[in-house]
Amino acid sequence: MKKIVSLLCLSLLAFTTQAQKWVAGTPAGTEYLTIDKNGTSTIPNGRHITPYGRQISTAPHPYGLALSPDGSVAVTANSGTAPISISIIKNVLANNASVQQVPDKSSTDKGVLEACFMGLAITPDNKSVYVSGGQTNKIFLFDLETGKQKTTINCATKANGINYYHGYIGDMVLSNDGKTLYAVDQIGFRLVVIDTQSGKIRHNIPTGRYPFGICLSPDGQRVYVANVGVFEYKPFTDLDMDDLKETAHKWPATRYNSKEMKEGIPDEGVPALGDPNAPEAFSVWSYAVQNGKPVVQAKIKTGILVGQMVEDFPAVGGSSPNSVVATDQYVFVTNGNNDCVSVIDMKQDTVVNTIYLNPEPRLGKLRGLIPFGVAVSPDQKRLYVAEAGLNAVAVVDVPTLKVLGHIPTGWFPSKLKVSPDGKQLIVTNAKGYGSGPNGGTTFTLGPEGSYIGSLMKGTVSVMDIPADDELPALTQKVLDNNYRFTQVAASDDNPIPPYPGASESPIKHIVFISKENRTYDEVFGQFEGANGDSTIARYGLNRDFASRDKKRSVTGGDVMPNHHALSRQFAMSDNYYCDSDVSADGHRWLVNTYPNEWVETGTTAAYGGQRSMRDTSQAPGNLSFYGSSGSIYPEDYNEAGSIWEHLERNKKDFFNWGFGVEMAAAYSDSTMKYIGELYTVNYPLPAPLFDKSSQKFPTYNMAIPDQFRADVFMKEFNEKWGGDGKTLPSLLTLMLPNDHGTRERPAAGYPFVESYMADNDLALGRAIEFLSHTPYWKNMMIVVTEDDPQGGVDHVDAHRSLLMVISPYVKKNYVGHQHYSFGSIFKTFWHVLGTPYLNQYDATATDMSDMFTNTPDFTPYNAMPADPRIFDPQKALDPFDEKFDWKAFAESEELDRTETMQKRRAEDDEDLREKRGKKVNKVKKKKRVKISPREF
């Protein structure tokens, strides 16, 4: 393996298994998440927020920013959850700044502003602002004084035989004289040139795929567009849209970066996607303005190419060039996946330098800074880069192209502007200080409600630009906010080694189980000895509830008894947080892929009601909108890839049930017992995942009971690794999604929303009972978590969720109080398996060694039955013609239940079992029902 030059890099094991003395951890320690706007706040990944300067609150997710030419007014485009809005900040550079929200209400007002997405441009007279309209395919003009809409420009048109009826208008820039507006259409793959005096489209110019950022040269004679897309995705050519159930594909068609992906499989209806390094993908296009029309001069590849060697492995993801800014000499481009800025010489249209931003050499080439917005000072001597993953702004000296330091900001800085006099910096922080709690006895419900996305207020930081000699102290503050390094020695006194390769762990097999959308309090709020709020434990024990129509009710029902019993027998955390807000980013985090700027902006827009998955749209980029589907896609592959590529290159075997195979634009109904959906578009799967995933296991489909998933899992497990001479892989991944919940379906065995939780609970209990009775149990660790917490409420923070650790080597009946996040899970995996870290999020999290002991207890787990009033497993399984062995299940129960569960035993008598047994052979024919897409 190629050695890293810096001795400090060697010490952390960036990509080596040599012993190390330094280990990074979270600054949070045992802190629970808090928001302190006058001090230090803690965010879900355990890092601290201490934003520099003055902070101004906006609506959630301000991913767009414009500053008036005179510097008096700033406008943010808030493209997240409702209200979709703009924030007009008057006197932004003064201490008496005021904020006007448009529309001024807690819900989106289609009569005022239907949608917006990132793009803003203020007119030279400082009186009006253009606002990009996202999927409306429109641009709106607002009066900055009154906040009233003045006019609308419709970008739907036909040009050169191309129908631009559907579009998604994003970033934009206005010419110096205000007469020409340039805007990118993300799904139309076009640059729209508009005459502002007439409001007419002058030109529609082709761009690369999914154009994301745009800028003008200072003289207005050059236009630069950054393209973050990879492919133009297309449906399979052999589909019959009137009979998708018979013609849609039963499995994703191609592996990522394979010959079949690039060239297609015409005989099987699989269209070609081409080369991920094509000029249209991950590129910056340079245009010369000739007689008012931009003409392409160059298509420039920036950052690291797909397949290019990084240390000793080929890059999996591309560069994701997303934002651009120009001086008289250079164009600066942020590469979101490479943690660097490409420097393009304007005369040569060629990359002449690369500025790497990482301020912590001990992290080597681990990525995670996510450079996003860029701005240049008026004298063109300073470049400022928003480092969304570091919660900081990098300061770069333009003459030398050297990083001078970093300034702390709020959570996820996105866009920035420099005041006209060059003395102040304005930064939008898309996630502000975080969400805070969204329920419990001390929570007061505001007009925005309790939904996590609505609580994530954005902020604008307004700061005096620090002098160069102040930057070292500010840079140290940034480092302290993000990382804590401690010196450790190799030790074998815990089954979790202190770093990869420090010792050999007795744990050889990891089972990673993902569930859907629950918070800590709604399941474990009653748990004694933990930080919970029992008043919001709606899915706990001894709960009273009714159906929505009030016709059915349960008194004293134990909704999720296995979760509580498992936590009593093993270990759980009350200080664990999902890095994700919702399912779309959650499924990225679940495979150790941190969402880049393309995912973050698209996800918040989609969950705010801005989706563009129109079946009738012919826009070439329409299928680049993935919604909440549980997969990763080429546009958001990190440079080093996900756990799948990481395991493969480190020669660790794995097998997968359900992770990452739920694709967008799929077809599903209630009869699809295997896989759970059919595929209609050639979205490639990560290559290692293609061959190591079950092609029977149902992915996300709420019409399928988790009991069936548990059956498929156990059957395939026995087929592959049952009996002598078999070797279980290092990692197994299993998805049990029905705790997501959906509408009540009494006829299908789900008379309450709680029924889905009970289904999920029983499936989890059965799966762990099964695993704990295999020969592999003595060397096994099972980790259970959620993909995101958006479905419930919590009195500590809306991001707090479930983390259960089950193993002979965990402490018994133990509640861990150390801060944990997704990164903690993966860091623990890599310490056990002796593999390097994958990115900065796992490398700098706190591992879960606190929950483990060197004294094993090999007692297996025995699952608890569901309360039949809440959920009847056989009724749910009847349409699937599955024979569930209730007698064997009942006989496996031991008298080791927690005291609170004893009352359930009286109900589980022989008569009830007999009644259940009679149902086993009844197969009910169900009418086929097409289910709706995932509910957000």
Residues 206 and 329 in one domain: yes
If we measure between CA atoms, which residue out of 628, 694, 613, 708 comes closest to residue 662?
Answer: 628
**Phi, psi angles (nearest 5°) of residue 763:** -60, -40
- Which of helix, strand or coil describes residue 578? coil
Give Cβ neighbours of residue 756 (< 8 Å, ≥ 6 apart).
Answer: 702, 738, 739, 740, 741, 742, 750
Per-residue pLDDT, 609: 56
- Report the pLDDT value the prediction gives residue 5, as an integer from 0 to 100: 32
Alpha-carbon span 560 to 540, nearest angstrom: 6
Residues of the chain above pLDDT 70, percent: 90
Residue 907 burial by Cβ neighbours in a 10 Å radius (0-12, 13-18, 19+): exposed
Residues 466 and 537 both lie in one domain: no
Least confident interval from 47-51, 362-366, 912-916: 912-916
Q: What is the pLDDT of residue 889?
A: 57
Give the span between the Cα atoms of 825 and 783, in whole angstroms. 8
User: Region 308-326: what's the mean pLDDT?
Assistant: 96
User: Does residue 438 sit within a domain?
Assistant: yes
Distance CA 316, CA 632 (A): 12
Q: Are residues 453 and 523 in the same domain?
A: no
> What are the pLDDT digits (tens) for 606-628?
766 555 444 567 899 988 888 78
**Structure confidence at residue 890 (pLDDT):** 55
Dist. CA 556–CA 545, nearest whole Å = 9
State the angle between helix axes of 753-772 and 706-721 in degrees (0 to 180), rounded to the nearest 10.
20
- The residue length of the chain stands at 936
The pLDDT of residue 723 = 85
Over the stretch 771-785, which tens digit does the pLDDT of each residue have? 999 999 999 999 999
List the CATH number of the domain containing 165.
2.130.10.10
Same domain, 439 and 524: no
Q: Is the pLDDT of residue 920 over 70?
A: no
Region 521-541 average pLDDT: 97
473 shares its domain with 536: no
Q: Is the pLDDT of residue 917 over 60?
A: no
- Residue 932 domain-assigned? no
Give me the mean pLDDT over the 360-379 stretch. 97
863 and 727 part of one domain: yes
Q: What angle do CA 195, 199, 203 make, to 5 degrees?
A: 45
Is pLDDT above 50 for 9? no
Choice between 49 and 880, residue whose per-residue pLDDT is larger: 49
User: Do 208 and 279 form a contact (C-beta atoms < 8 A)?
Assistant: yes
Least trusted range by pLDDT, from 347-351, 608-612, 810-814: 608-612
CATH code: domain of residue 774:
3.40.720
Element of type H or E holding 215: strand 211-216
Q: How far is CA 903 from the centre of its chain?
A: 41
> Is the model's pLDDT at 336 over the cut of 90?
yes
Residue 546 shares a structural domain with residue 436: no
pLDDT band of 885, cuts 50, 70, 90: low
pLDDT in tens, 92-119: 999 999 999 999 865 545 568 888 999 9
Q: What is the mean pLDDT of residues 169-173?
A: 97
Q: What is the pLDDT of residue 902?
A: 27
Q: Are 449 and 574 within one domain?
A: no
Residues 86 and 206 in one domain: yes
**789 lies in a domain?**
yes
Tell me if 615 is assigned to some domain: no
Same domain for 521 and 402:
no
Average pLDDT over residues 808-833: 98
User: Is residue 250 in a domain?
Assistant: no
Query: Has residue 517 got a pLDDT over 90?
Result: yes
How many CB atoms are located within 10 Å of the residue 499 CB?
28
Query: Is 55 part of any domain?
Result: yes
pLDDT of the residue at 709: 96
Per-residue pLDDT band at 313 (split at 50, 70, 90): very high
pLDDT tens-digit profile of 833-879? Answer: 999 999 999 999 999 999 999 999 999 999 999 999 999 999 999 88
Q: Which structural domain, as residue segments, surrounds residue 796?
A: 509-582+638-881
Number of structural domains (the chain) is: 2
Domain-embedded: residue 633: no
Asked if residue 323 has pLDDT above 50, the reply is yes
Residues 390 and 519 in one domain: no
Verify that 327 and 382 share a domain, yes or no: yes
Q: Give pLDDT tens digits for 47-75.
A: 999 999 999 999 999 999 999 999 999 99
DSSP 630: S
For residue 104, being part of any structural domain is answered with yes
